[in-house]
Amino acid sequence: MRAIDEQYLSTPFYGRRRMTQWLRGEGHEVNEKRVGRLMSAMGIEAIYPKSRLSKPAPGHRIYPYLLRGVAIGRVNQVWSTDITYIPLRQGFAYLVAVIDWYSRYVLSWELSVTMDTEFCVSALSEAFSVGRRPEIFNTDQGAQFTSEAFTTPLLELGVSISMDGRGRALDNVFIERLWRSVKYEEVYLRDYRDVVHSRRSLRAYFRFYNTERPHQALGYRTPEQVYWEAA
């Protein structure tokens, strides 16, 4: 699964057939059916350039996408969230994060060994603990994000909810870039023993990402500098 995850970031157009051939070329004795099961467990599909870790739930309200053609020019204009797969030495976990689009500041994050709604709601609550709120909050159409437990706090604060159209790879582009940074600069350089180890290491990385890592797109300032200077 870790090998699939790494290759997927480089070739998101690989379906299970191509991924199977690539794995065999790397010396893994796998068949297409097994690769398909593993990709399904990880939420990975070809066509979509991002992981589809969260699936829509019947009966949940789907909100329209509000960001088409919108210029992002200030902090707290748009926040968004997403979920990605984190490999452990034995097994795996899921990581959710909330990011401010303009500053790339990671407002909160949380880990879970299950794809429940609770850890997403926990990350949302922590994001609001900074004392700010966005004008628009963008998510995909996953059950975690369309649940009333997640949308009600947003609506109560007067936040407009925006949801990606299925298969629209660039709707959540800023957090997709975050995942690439997290994977290549942290996750793939470590060998997480378990959730406790991964949580401790990710905490250090996100501190570095927010407060020390200069971003070219931000004029080589850090996300923390940009976010709190303008917030």
pLDDT in tens, 122-158: 999 999 999 999 999 999 888 899 999 999 999 999 9
Distance CA 49, CA 143 (A): 20
Give me the CATH number covering residue 169.
3.30.420.10
CA distances from residue 182 to 96, 114, 204, 220, 228 in whole angstroms, order as listed: 12, 20, 11, 18, 22
10 and 103 in a single domain? The answer is no
Q: Which domain holds residue 219?
A: 78-230
Domain-embedded: residue 226:
yes
- Is position 53 within any domain? no
126 and 198 share a domain?
Answer: yes
65 within a domain of the structure (yes/no): no
Mean predicted lDDT score pLDDT of the chain = 89
C-beta atoms surrounding 223 within 10 Å: 24
Distance, in Å, from the CA atom of 127 to the CA atom of 123, rounded to the nearest integer, reads 6
Number of domains in the chain: 2
Give the residue, 171 or 121, on which the prediction is more confident: 121
Which pTM does this prediction carry? 0.82
Whether residues 190 and 91 share a domain: the answer is yes
pLDDT band at 47 (very low <50, low <70, confident <90, very high): very low
DSSP conformation class of 25: H
Q: Establish if 54 belongs to a structural domain.
A: no
Q: Does 231 have pLDDT greater than 80? A: no
Is residue 174 situated within a structural domain? yes
Task: Determine the average pLDDT of the residues in 5-9.
Answer: 84
Say yes or no: 106 and 28 in one domain.
no
